[in-house]
A and B are shown apart, each in its own frame.
Chain A
Amino acid sequence: MASSNGFIRKYGVIFGLLGIIIFFAIESPTYFFTSSNFILISKQSSINILLALGQMFVILTAGIDLSDGAIAGLVGAVAAGVTVATGNLFFGLLAGLGVGIGFGIVNGLIVAFAKVPAFIATLATMSAITGITLIYTQGEPIWNLPSSFDFIGQGSLLDIPFSIIIMALSFVAVWIILERTKYGRHVYAVGGNIKASRAAGVKISSVLISVYAISGLLAAIGGIILASRLGTAEPSAGSGYELDAIAAVVLGGTSLFGGEGWVVGTIIGGYIIAVLNNGMTIMNISAYYQEVVKGLVILLAVMLTSFGKKYWNE
């Protein structure tokens, strides 16, 4: 969005990421600052970034999707379970993606037609979906998956991990949709000013349903990569992932009030979280301190963004 304060917001988050990278590069030049470690960081961030890209659609409409982690977990289980049951990867993936989009649409219908606030609606579906995963898996992990299933999260094309390729393609698709299409403008418009968009003839309910469906789809892709990466669909997979996804979106400068955001920022936000996790583990920083540092960095980054906005406006 070409608002005057967008400039500082964008550069703020880029400098944040660069600052963290430079810090770790100085602390651990031999291990952290290597191309193989950057590929690893990209691989580790791919699941969170997929969820965050979906989350971004929802947040742009001033909503929130607390259920995307739960959807990722259920989809991983369904994709793995159906693949094992039918012996056919294609059916497994189809079922998984279908479940993801399906629950996304359910979220959208509740928000658009029952007028339940997104926070409550998706909190409720998060709980229900987590329960459905437990019922489906009976609490047991699904493993002994065929090697074709493992390829999605473990394989590489031309030395680039397949999960990174999926993330990159999803990023390009999301960028085009949000920045270059009429639909994308509608998504921004619904979050920016719902009355004006309705007056301008935007079908609010279709936009709302579609953003939750997209969030469900991207969470589904993330969930499939997660299960494939582990070679196991765990009943508890994905729990808490929604928070990292929301953090990435907000770090990237998307407003929780909707209408403002930047797709590249979401990617950078996801990378900030992944670089922090990777760098602190490489430095063997105690888990107790890691949590504090992560919290402070996220807080600092968001404060800088909002300070930048304020400064620019005055």
Chain B
Amino acid sequence: MKSLILVAVMVAGIAVLSMAMTIGFCVSTLNNPYFVSFTNGAKAEAQLLGINLIVMNANNSNSTQLNQVEDLIQRKVDAIILNPTDSDALVPAVIAANKAGIPVITLDRSVNGGKVDMYIASNNVEYGKLEAQYAVKLLDGKGNVVLLTGIPGASATRDRSKGIMDYLSQYPNIKIVANQTAQFDMATAMSVMESILVAHPDINAVIAENDEMALGAIQAIKAAGRTGITVIGGDGIPQGIQAVKDGTEAVDIAQQPYKMAALGVSAAFFIVNGLSISPTSLSMPLFPVTKDTVNQWIASGD
């Protein structure tokens, strides 16, 4: 009975605290299953807490996102959750929110300026390093590797490439025979990989900086009738996890976009209610999904 009252008080408390709380949620793109899952996590958490969540999609455009943040400031939202399209280009947006006294939480990517109340992301250097580690492990420290990188200049590309290159440089018998961008895109990755397969009859592994590119590479390998090539991807999108299950993708460095965004919303909830949170940055764990761990990952429900 006591606990029931406690729960009732808590629910009432949350209802009062979140009454008419409006939070702006700026996502960089919705063209990608990773960010769709991310946004769904935020929506679910907001619903749970009774928060009015305004979702804005910037379509990967910095200027669109800046305008959206300005619009949210005009609307006097209680907090802004920002998944920046770019770490530098969104600094003015954060500064504008600071001036208006609106708390800012950044998710998935950092912003290199202004005051951010909370920052939650996966470590992309670690992401690349894990991919490289598995490549080395699966190839026994020796072989020819193809690297498919993301959108040139994007922070995720820079960090993942750094993690991969730094780790692989310790293994002189691992040779990067081709290093090409595939724009984080499946169709591009397929075409690029097809051409790479023409030039290299002796590829042992492909490291792709996300799942979409890994899946494109898998299609290209299948179309060319090649076998014995280990494909490594990341993000943990459903199609990638299925590919691990099917054995076409060897490792998928899964992130937890749903949980990340949900955490972002609860952080915003606390901050708006005047509770200070420490630490002010949080690194979401990465989970390498392999054939051995894939069922465990699916059961965990992310």
Contacts and interface: CB of A to CB of B under 8 A. Distances in A.
Interface of A: 28, 31-32, 34, 36-37, 40, 43-44, 134, 138-141, 143-144, 154, 226, 229-232, 234-237, 239, 277-278, 281-284, 286-288
Contact of B32 (A28, A139, A286): A139
B191 A277 contact: yes
Nearest to B194: A40
Which of A226, A282, A283, A287 counts the most B-chain CB atoms under 10 A from its CB?
A287
Contacts of A232: 186, 215, 239
B152 A230 contact: no
A140 B194 contact: no
Contacts of A277: 191, 195
A226 B187 CA distance: 8
A141 B33 CA distance: 7
8 contacts: A134-B30, A139-B36, A229-B190, A229-B223, A234-B212, A235-B30, A235-B31, A277-B191
B195 A40 contact: yes
Given A229-B187, A229-B190, 17 more contacts: A40-B198, A144-B242, A154-B223, A229-B219, A230-B187, A230-B215, A230-B216, A232-B215, A235-B32, A236-B32, A277-B195, A278-B198, A282-B195, A284-B177, A286-B179, A287-B149, A288-B152
Contacts of A288: 152
Contacts of B216: 230
Instruction: Bin the interface of chain B by size.
Output: 20 to 34
Interface of B: 30-33, 35-36, 149, 152, 177-181, 185-187, 190-192, 194-196, 198-199, 212, 215-216, 219, 222-223, 239, 242
Contacts of A40: 194-195, 198
Contact of A287 (B152, B215, B239): B152
Contacts of A144: 242
Q: Which 4 A-B pairs have the closest CB atoms?
A: A236-B31, A287-B181, A281-B195, A139-B36
B196 A281 contact: yes
A21 to B, nearest CB: 15
Contacts of B33: 139-141
A282 B180 CA distance: 10
A312 to B, nearest CB: 37
B186 A230 contact: yes
A140 B195 contact: no
A282 B36 contact: no
Nearest to B201: A31
A234 B199 contact: no
B149, B177, B194 pick with most chain A CB within 10 angstroms: B194
B185 A236 contact: yes
A141 B239 contact: yes
A230 B215 CA distance: 8
A239 B219 CA distance: 20
Nearest to B195: A281
Contacts of A139: 30-33, 35-36
Nearest to B224: A40
Contacts of B36: 138-140
B122 to A, nearest CB: 20
Contacts of A231: 219
Contacts of B239: 141, 143, 232
Contacts of B181: 287
B194 A28 contact: no
A1 to B, nearest CB: 33
Contacts of A28: 199
B292 to A, nearest CB: 23
A284 B179 contact: yes
A81 B186 CA distance: 18
Given A44-B191, A140-B33, A232-B215, A31 B186 contact: no
Contact of B180 (A226, A230, A284): A284
Q: Please indicate which of the listed interface residues A44, A239, A278, A281 has the most CB atoms of chain B within 10 Å of its own CB.
A: A281
Contacts of B185: 234, 236
A288 B153 CA distance: 10
A235 to B, nearest CB: 5
A226 B26 CA distance: 30
A138 B239 CA distance: 15
B33 to A, nearest CB: 5
B223 A284 contact: no
B190 A284 contact: no
B233 to A, nearest CB: 14
